[in-house]
Amino acid sequence: MKKFFIMLVAIYLISNTVSAQFEKGGWITSLQGSFGAAGRKSDLYKYHNLQIKPELLKLLRHNLAVGFVAGIEQSASRMKNYPGGGEQLQSDLHFQAGPVVRKYFGNFKLRPYAELSAGVKFSRYYSKFSGEAGSSFSNTEAFIRPALGLSYMVNDKVSFNISTGTDLMQPRYRELEINLGISVKLGK
């Protein structure tokens, strides 16, 4: 039993010393993104989306960072045999920008974190039915997006991230986003 306890303490100490320390004053740059696709075998409906979100974060305290996020998302859908016998094409383009706060928990290689971002989202929508001219409109709205994630520290500079979150300002159309990303600690 004594050997088992000593082994656990040694593993704990080694895992603490080999993990990166997010100390006050450092910078973290992060790039997260997601891709989604949907369709049916009959080819009547196809949908895809792509999202990319770069972030720049400054560590204010140990494991607490604030910064700026700017993201772009594009989605498109095509539906054949739309009611009335036609075809519908739809395309959306969104750009979002605002502040972000991220809090890491622990000093191990696998670190959970919580994130909150808010800001402005600029959207452009385009829709076209077969046999008709296309129409488009633009919209500007606020977003508040909490997220939970895990960050795996590859070494003291690089980590891989997975996170999930949703926009609280969209009560009727709430979509759960799952993002994969990479973060790089800049400086020392």
At the second CATH level, the architecture of 2-186 is Beta Barrel (2.40)
What is the tens place of the pLDDT at every residue in 16-48?
444 455 667 788 888 888 877 776 656 677 878
Question: Residues 6 or more apart from 104 whose CB is under 8 A from it?
Answer: 22, 63, 64, 65, 111, 112, 113, 151
Q: Say if residues 74 and 34 touch (Cβ distance below 8 Å).
A: no
Segment 74-88 shows an average pLDDT of 77
Residue type, 140: T
Domain segments of the chain: what residues? 2-186
Confidence band of 57 (pLDDT split at 50, 70, 90): very high
> What whole-number distance in Å separates Cα of residue 112 and Cα of residue 116?
14
